[in-house]
Amino acid sequence: MNHDIFFIIITVSFLLIGILKAFYWNYGKLLVLGSLQYRYASQYLRLENALTQRVNGITFIIMIVNLSLLIVLQNDIYRVTDFLNVSFSVLIYFFLKYLLILFLGNIFLKKEIARLTIFFSYISDRSLSIVIFPFLVLAYFISFDINHHIIYLILFISALFLFFKIYSLFKIGTNSFGLFPLYIFLYLCILEIFPFVLVTKGFFYD
């Protein structure tokens, strides 16, 4: 493993989280809490302004970097090219998911649903990337051979965030907009559950 390169990458992530805590603590706290409780997410959504846009930008970068670091962990050899390739793939995934949600919103004339789906899906992923950061640091640099235990803990935390994301999206879709549950189920399976299962499978069967 090239420790120097990954030290720099993790330092960049740490710096961004530090900026978030130092200058946007209230918004960052709302964002993380919003991934677990609907009322905090609604409060964050209502506060939409230039500051929340900055928070969204910072946390999006943190999300790409930290989730890429997590996925790279399943490889036996760690190179800069591995990280760049994974980061690009993660970025493409979120970009395509964004476009697909907007496309479905336009097709079904449900633009407000598309906007809320993007918000609640991404707020969960961005919050997760912040929460798992300390465990990523341990997994990359701890001298003890407990990486598998750390990875299992990260996957367990990720599963919890996925559960709350599914619950929030299902609740909004059925209660607020009266969507047919099958449509919500298909969306969740294709764009939320399947990617998680794919990444998890890589850790257990690679």
Residue 143 has pLDDT above 70, yes or no: no
- Whether 132 contacts 70, CB under 8 Å: yes
Q: What is the pLDDT of residue 206?
A: 54
Q: Collect all residues with Cβ–Cβ distance below 8 Å to 55 and sequence separation of at least 6.
A: 20, 24, 27, 28, 31
CA distance 8 to 150: 21
User: 184 pLDDT band (50/70/90 cuts)?
Assistant: confident
Q: What is the pLDDT of residue 91?
A: 92
Two tokens, residue 36: 């677990």
Q: What is the mean pLDDT of residues 52-81?
A: 83
- Please name the residue ranges forming H helices in the chain: 3-23, 25-34, 38-46, 50-72, 80-107, 111-131, 133-141, 147-171, 181-187, 194-205
Residue 2 has pLDDT above 70, yes or no: no
User: 76 pLDDT band (50/70/90 cuts)?
Assistant: low
The chain-wide mean pLDDT, for the chain, equals 82
Residue 178 has pLDDT above 80, yes or no: no
User: 198 pLDDT band (50/70/90 cuts)?
Assistant: confident
- Whether 162 contacts 192, CB under 8 Å: yes
CA distance 200 to 151: 10
Q: What is the mean pLDDT of residues 117-145?
A: 84
Most confident stretch, 2-11, 67-76, 156-165, 174-183: 156-165
Q: What is the mean pLDDT of residues 88-108?
A: 85
pTM of the model: 0.84
Four-residue CA torsion sign, 122, 55, 27, 116: negative
In terms of Cα–Cα distance, which of 179, 78, 199 is closest to 132?
199
